[in-house]
């Protein structure tokens, strides 16, 4: 089986073994061992390439190939395999090799292509108990996982192609065997939770490559749904009966697609039918009730009468994570605002102690708890953002403004090499342009910023460095007698002697 890294040069997962063994079949079978990590792409402005680069930081939730775990990021990887193998973008490949041969003339791979069209459904969601129009969600950066926009006419061509085992217009475009491979069970699914809700009569479920496989009324059903802001869809087939259905709705996260799938199959197969709407609605409402109970428990656990440990400005700053990037908190007239990516912006309202509730501005984004963790110095060290990640606070940039201005002749007195008397450590001070630079073996060069004629603050050009590092020059006339390197506790204070001066 073809390894994914054969086409994705530099692609890495957190687990080196999984990186080495991951195949294209694995990418399409939801068995990578990774949980979703969807907030890496959802509402973000990261490119497809950058998203795949950051996948290496997503820790596995299960062993590789141990169980099913829905994974949009792996479908992005599969799309990038297509791009690498074909020499053109996934979008161009789909257009040339699927849309055009199947006469899917109204289909595209980006919501940007919908602009200016006069016959397009608008996405809807329930906002404050009222169904309202909501904005389109641009998902170009995860496009291979589900960005195709289409209609029932075009999707009927797609159904006929699959039910025809790769034939369209009398031509065999894909071999019968390869179509069959897509329908081979690769990953077993447990029928519980949402699966039991949406597929109540199922006995067996598994995942092939890009398709769910299940039984219904003693027939094989091949189906796949899809959801994004304000839109829900379902494509389903019974190959033995040569029947299929396409259900496209403009409602956020609705189970109606499963209801209509079963209703259509019952109608086409003949015989008795169930009231699928009543059955699935009952289960759906029970699930909604569970969500409300969870919210009630969270409110009951809130400690009223508490207050934050610090002033609002002390929480402001940039918090970072290797995978998810930056979570930014700013103070505006005594209130806190938070921002993550392009989509998540909102107000932080005090909940209790050092925990705040983020109320996102988007109509369907809801809320999230943000817990600030204080370090030993009493300052904020971390922001734990519910549903995203634990972000570490980025130190503020070093102040590179000198307190005093020193001319080149004065700075030149400090140029030379210095060594400790105990542990053998030799450092060097050089003039670079009009600044002093301190070089310590194995460390980046430090810029010396003047606090006084003989005291300098250490900074890293363009980098992040905590405060508290100073160099003091003790002078005998114009010559350096001794150098003291002061470091924040518990690091030691070092005394260095001159070993040579600059020529």
- Give the mean pLDDT of the chain: 93
DSSP per-residue codes, 300-343 = HT--TT---SS-HHHH-EEEEETTTEEEEEEEETTEEEEEETTT
Percent of the chain exceeding pLDDT 70 equals 98
pLDDT tier, 211 (very low <50, low <70, confident <90, very high otherwise): very high
Residues 6+ apart with CB under 8 A from 361: 345, 346
User: Cα dihedral angle (232, 238, 242, 243), rounded to 10 degrees?
Assistant: -40
pLDDT of residue 197: 73
- Interatomic CA distance for residues 220 and 238, integer angstroms: 6
pLDDT at 503 over 60: no
Taking residues 395-409, report their average pLDDT.
83
pLDDT at 191: 85
pLDDT at 2: 93
- Residue 365: which pLDDT band, with cuts at 50, 70 and 90? very high
Do 398 and 464 meet the contact criterion of CB atoms below 8 Å apart? yes
Tell me what percent of the residues of the chain surpass a pLDDT of 90: 79
Q: Taking a C-beta distance cutoff of 8 angstroms, is the pair 374, 380 a contact?
A: yes
- What are the chain's domains? 312-393 (2.40.128.600), 408-501 (2.40.128.50)
Residue 502: predicted pLDDT: 58
Return all residues near 319 (Cβ < 8 A) that are at least 6 apart: 326, 327, 328, 329, 382, 383, 391, 392, 393, 394
**Span 213-271, pLDDT tens digits:** 999 999 999 999 999 999 999 999 999 999 999 999 999 989 999 999 999 999 999 98
Distances (CA, A) of 226 to 149, 210, 215, 235, 456: 11, 12, 20, 9, 60
State the angle between helix axes of 276-300 and 256-269 in degrees (0 to 180), rounded to the nearest 10: 160
Out of 58-67, 219-228, 279-288, 468-477, pick the least confident.
279-288
Q: Residue 117 burial by CB count (10 A; 0-12/13-18/19+): exposed, middle or buried? A: exposed
How far separated are the first and last CA of the chain, in Å rounded?
A: 65
DSSP 272: -
Residue 260: per-residue pLDDT: 95
In this prediction, residue 44 has a pLDDT band, given cuts at 50, 70 and 90, of very high
Cβ neighbours of residue 124 under 8 Å, at least 6 residues apart? 131, 132, 133, 134, 230, 250, 251, 252
Helices (H), 362-477: 408-412
Stretch among 141-150, 195-204, 436-445 having the lowest mean pLDDT: 195-204
Q: What is the pLDDT of residues 74-124, one digit of tens each?
A: 999 999 999 999 999 999 999 999 999 999 999 999 999 999 888 999 999
Q: Which two tokens stand for residue 379?
A: 């300052």
Q: Is the peptide bond before 355 cis (omega within 30 degrees of 0)?
A: no
The predicted pLDDT at position 85 comes to 96
CA–CA distance, 216 with 51 (Å, rounded to integer): 38
Q: From the CB of residue 47, how many other CB atoms can be counted at a distance below 10 Å?
A: 12
Give the pLDDT score at 137.
Answer: 94
Q: Please report which confidence band the pLDDT of residue 8 belongs to, taking 50, 70 and 90 as the band edges.
A: very high
Contact 139, 149 (CB under 8 A): no
Taking only the tens place, the pLDDT of each residue in 450-470 is: 999 999 999 887 666 777 899
Cα–Cα distance, 226 to 171 (Å, whole number): 29
Task: Kindly tell me if the per-residue pLDDT of 395 is higher than 90.
Answer: no
Task: Please give the Cα distance from 29 to 212 (Å, whole number).
Answer: 10
pLDDT score recorded for residue 198 = 72
Burial class (CB in 10 A: 0-12, 13-18, 19+), 499: exposed
**Average pLDDT, stretch 32-38?**
94
């Amino acid at each position: 089986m073809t390894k994914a890294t054969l086409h994705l040069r530099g692609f890495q997962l957190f687990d080196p073994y999984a990186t080495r063994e991951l195949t294209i079949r694995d990418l399409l079978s939801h068995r990578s061992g990774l949980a979703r990590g969807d907030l890496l792409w959802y509402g973000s402005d990261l490119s497809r390439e950058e998203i795949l680069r950051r996948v290496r930081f997503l820790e596995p939730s299960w062993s590789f190939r141990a169980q099913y775990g829905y994974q949009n990021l792996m479908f992005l990887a599969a799309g990038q395999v297509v791009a690498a193998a074909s020499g053109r973008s996934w979008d161009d490949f789909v257009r040339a090799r699927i849309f055009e041969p199947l006469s899917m003339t109204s289909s595209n791979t980006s919501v940007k292509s919908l602009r200016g069209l006069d016959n397009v459904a608008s996405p809807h969601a329930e906002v404050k108990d009222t169904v309202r129009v909501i904005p389109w969600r641009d998902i170009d950066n995860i496009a291979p996982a589900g960005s195709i926009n289409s209609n029932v006419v075009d999707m009927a061509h797609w159904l006929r192609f699959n039910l025809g085992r790769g034939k369209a217009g009398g031509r065999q475009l894909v071999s019968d065997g390869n179509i069959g491979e897509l329908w081979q069970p690769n990953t077993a699914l447990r029928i519980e939770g949402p699966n039991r809700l949406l597929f109540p009569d199922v006995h067996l479920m598994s995942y092939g490559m890009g398709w769910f496989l299940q039984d219904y009324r003693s027939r094989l059903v091949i189906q796949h749904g899809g959801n994004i802001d304000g839109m829900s869809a379902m494509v389903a087939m019974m190959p033995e009966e040569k029947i299929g259905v396409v259900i496209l709705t403009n409602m956020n996260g609705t189970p109606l697609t499963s209801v209509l799938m079963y209703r259509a199959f019952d109608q086409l197969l003949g015989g008795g039918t169930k009231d699928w709407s009543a059955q699935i609605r009952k289960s759906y409402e029970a699930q909604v009730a569970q969500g409300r109970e969870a919210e009630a428990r969270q409110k009951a656990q809130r400690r009223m009468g508490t207050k934050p440990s610090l002033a609002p400005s002390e929480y402001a700053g940039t918090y970072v994570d290797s995978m998810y990037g930056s979570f930014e908190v700013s103070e505006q007239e005594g209130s806190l605002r938070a921002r993550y990516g392009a989509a998540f912006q909102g107000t932080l309202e005090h909940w209790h102690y050092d925990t705040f509730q983020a109320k996102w501005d988007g109509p369907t984004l809801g809320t999230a708890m943000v817990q600030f963790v204080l370090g030993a110095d009493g300052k904020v060290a971390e922001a734990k953002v519910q549903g995203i990640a634990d972000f570490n606070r980025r130190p503020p940039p070093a102040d590179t403004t000198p307190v005093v201005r020193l001319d080149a002749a004065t700075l030149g007195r400090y140029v030379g090499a210095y060594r400790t008397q105990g542990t053998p450590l030799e450092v060097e001070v050089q003039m670079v342009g009009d600044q002093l630079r301190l070089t310590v073996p194995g460390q980046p060069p430090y810029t010396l910023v003047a606090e006084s004629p003989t005291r300098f603050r250490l900074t890293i050009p363009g980098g992040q460095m905590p405060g508290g590092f100073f160099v003091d020059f003790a002078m005998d006339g114009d010559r350096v007698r001794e150098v003291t390197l002061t470091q924040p506790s518990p690091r030691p204070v070092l005394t260095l002697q001159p070993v040579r001066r600059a020529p």
